[in-house]
Structure 1
Amino acid sequence: MLRSMYSGVSGMKGFQTKLDVIGNNIANVNTIGFKSGRVMFKDIMSQTVSGVTPPNDTTQGGVNAKQIGLGVSIGSIDTLHLAGSAMTTNNPTDLRIDGDGFFLVKMNEDQDVPFLTRAGDFHIDAARNLVTSDGLFVLDSDGGPINIDAEVTAFTIAQDGTIVQKMADGTTVPGVQLGVAKVTNPEGLEKIGGNLYRVTLNASPDGEFEPGTANSTEFGTGAIIAGQLEMSNVDLTSEFTEMIVAQRGFQANSRIITTSDEILQEVVNLKR
């Protein structure tokens, strides 16, 4: 059987995966805090027809190896943790991290390692807890849920994450600080849906990390900007360009299979 047919099949599979990733990027173009993905290809091991011959000073020069490539495979599917544009909402519980870092959220008190997110569209629930739109607790710098006291009439959030509370008597009291974490390798985080990431062993040593604070030189985290949200970092111009490339690549590889099939048909027709 012709090698080119299997090379064409591998190419079609690779470009199908690329189209899947592009489709997911475009679908999440308006998802708050979404980070786009990209597909990188790598060639498959080549078949060596003849090896290398070293040069000989007295008889002949060196001869290069003859190798035939056997197709392509997926090298990696990367998550690009580039900052998205700022969207001003003027909602005091809408938060954006201007720089590196992630917000910390938990489903319940029993969860050991919190989830990470860049989506800062938070809310105050009936128990006056700061939560995500899915009801997950937003954590402070000590790793505990954030609760706004009933005596607080208004509050603002500073760039370092401190919740500045205005009390009923008119006094201003600093509250807890929002927790912000930074991992060694953000691309090693696992997407679990709901704008959440799970820490893996390749994202942070031992799969754990210590909660820090925003706008910190110690932790290397960015400032928190209240009244703004981070938009998706999907660039539609690039995505549609890559879609065209993937479509043409898929078509070209399908032509390889068609041509290989026609050649095999000619071989079969040699015996009539």
Structure 2
Amino acid sequence: MTGAMYAAISGLKAHMQKLSVIGNNISNINTPAYKASQALFSEAIYTTLTSGSNGSASAGGVNPSQLGYGCSVGSISMDMSTASFNADGNNMHCMIDGDGFFLTGDKPAATTNADTPPKTTLTETDPQNLELSRVGDFKFDSQGYLVDGRGNVVYGFVTYTTATNNTMDNAENPKTSTQLVPIRLPIAAATSADAGAPAAGTALYPTLDSTTKMNAYPAGSGNAITADSIAIDRATGKITAVNKADGSITVVGYLALGTVANPNGVTRLQNGYYQAGEGAGNCAATSVGGAVTGYYNNKAAGDTGAVAVQSSGKTALITGGLESSGTDLATEIAEMITTQRGYQANTRIITVTDSMLEELVNMKR
């Protein structure tokens, strides 16, 4: 008899957990790029009263007889499908139309190399260690870094130069580095009386380290250029800006998108971030529309460990707004009603079982 009560208790727990999922979905009805979750129940353990039989030459077979002990939450799955576009008129806001994530995180470690003059070289970053996000609320901070609304730097592929003075002064420039780095505006040249020195405010780009081909900036780099008319290209993720100092058009770099084998398997973190942990597969940094080609970390074909930069495929960007929440309010309200009734029915089982136990105790008076 108490088995019915314990089964009902497990049902109460499961329905409360499902209601928590529904409540979280509804509370995030206006959270940009929120991905709704769904709780699914599974049957709990069974006790076999009589086992089944295939029968014999003289007797027929019988089915097994089993008693169940309620239910539990079998899985809480996440729907990573693309939601609708919410236009807000901000040209620095963008939405991913398709699979993929923006790559965000802390700034990578840097070392001063032995070049003449010395330069600050950024170390290699593994996209597996970065945080994933679907919220493209971007801006450039006071140091010239592209950051999201929570202050994490946004990763991608930046423009570099082969000129020794870090300017764009020959036919071979500009180039796009295939090292995954935080996107940053070029450095503004300082005032200098040296002959041939670039004019104050001229954009200075990173070069490549002479030995490792990593992105290298002038040691003790100054302030970033003052940019205007910043735009993000939908098809390629290319970020362009106008340098206020001289009016030149600057190609800052290209946004990278992180892709995993199983987008629904990413692990939720706080503030709308995800992690490519167990269940999602390895995370790779891809180029929007295949705009950036070559091999990661500026390697050449045939180099040891050379891995080609892949295209994001049909996934593109929509600028001027953010992705809406993935919560379907009508569905959540309907689920809330059925969950409430399921919880109510389980309480009735406990009430009836209690009444039956009371009758059993009162049999002998």
Asked if Structure 1 and Structure 2 have the same fold, meaning a TM-score greater than 0.5 normalized by the shorter chain, the answer is yes
1:96-131 superposed Cα distances (whole Å, 9 cap, x missing partner): 011110000013325861100001111221112111
Task: Name which of structure 1's ranges 22-31 and 120-129 shifts more when overlaid on structure 2.
Answer: 120-129
The reply on whether 1:153 has 2:228 as its aligned counterpart is yes
- 3-state SS in 1 of match to 2:286: coil
Tell me, in whole angstroms, the C-alpha distance in 1 between the residues paired with 2:108 and 2:314: 25
Residue in 1 aligned with 2:239?
A: 163
Q: Secondary structure at the match of 1:212?
A: strand
Q: How does 1:1-272 map to 2 (within 5 A)?
A: 1-56=1-56, 58-110=57-109, 113-141=129-157, 142-149=179-186, 150=225, 152-159=227-234, 160-168=236-244, 169-205=246-282, 209-216=283-290, 218-220=311-313, 222-272=315-365
The separation in 2 between residues aligned to 1:239 and 1:182, in whole angstroms, is 29
2:231 partner letter? T
Query: Do the aligned residues in 2 keep the contact of 1:181 with 1:221 (CA within 8 Å)?
Result: no
Output the CA distance in 2 between the equivalents of 1:61 and 1:122. Answer: 72
Q: Secondary structure at the match of 2:285?
A: coil
Q: Per-residue deviation at 1:91? A: 0.7
Kept in 2, the 8 Å contact 1:155–1:165? The answer is yes
Q: 2-side partners of 1:218 and 1:103: how far apart?
A: 14
Name the CA distance, whole Å, in 2 between partners of 1:87 and 1:62.
62
Asked whether the equivalents of residues 15 and 246 of structure 1 are also in contact (C-alpha less than 8 Å), the reply is yes
* Counterpart-to-counterpart distance in 1, 2:329 and 2:226: 47
TM superposition shift of 1:152: 3.6
8 Å contact 1:213–1:221 — kept in the other structure?
Answer: no
Identity of aligned residues (%): 36
- Give the Å deviation of 1:170: 4.6
Give the SS at the match of 1:211: strand
What is the CA deviation profile of residues 17-46 of structure 1, one whole-angstrom value per residue up to 9, with x for unaligned ones? 000010000110100110011101100121
Separation of aligned partners in 1, 2:83 and 2:73:
27
Structure scoring higher RCO (CA < 8 A, sep ≥ 6) equals 1
Q: Secondary structure at the match of 1:178?
A: strand
Q: What code does the residue aligned with 1:156 have?
A: A
Q: Kindly tell me: are residues 121 and 242 of structure 1, through their superposed partners in 2, closer, same or farther at Cα, counting changes over 3 Å?
A: same
Query: What letter corresponds to residue 268 of structure 2 in structure 1?
Result: K
Q: What is the identity, as a one-letter code, of the residue corresponding to 1:84?
A: A
Normalised by the length of structure 2, the TM-score is 0.70
CA distance in 2, matches of 1:236, 1:215: 34
Q: 8 Å contact 2:184–2:252 — kept in the other structure?
A: no
Q: Which amino acid aligns with 2:182?
A: P
- Superposed CA RMSD in Å reads 1.8
- Stretches of structure 1 that go unaligned for 5 or more consecutive residues are none
Provide closer, same or farther for how the CA distance between residues 123 and 175 of structure 1 changes in structure 2, counting only shifts above 3 A.
closer
If you compute each CA radius of gyration, which structure gives the higher value, 1 or 2? 2
1:164 CA displacement: 2.3
Distance 1:221 1:119, change over 3 A: farther
Q: Is the 8 A contact 1:101 1:221 kept in 2?
A: no
AA matched with 1:76: S
Greater mean alpha carbon deviation, residues 13-22 or residues 60-69 = 60-69
Tell which deviates more after alignment, 169-178 or 154-163.
169-178
Supply the distance in 2 between the matched residues of 1:151 and 1:6 (Cα, whole angstroms): 67
Question: How far 1:221 moved relative to its partner?
Answer: 5.9
2:107–2:182 Cα contact (<8 Å) kept: no
Shift of 1:171: 4.5
Residue pair 1:4, 1:260 contacting (<8 A) in 2 also: yes
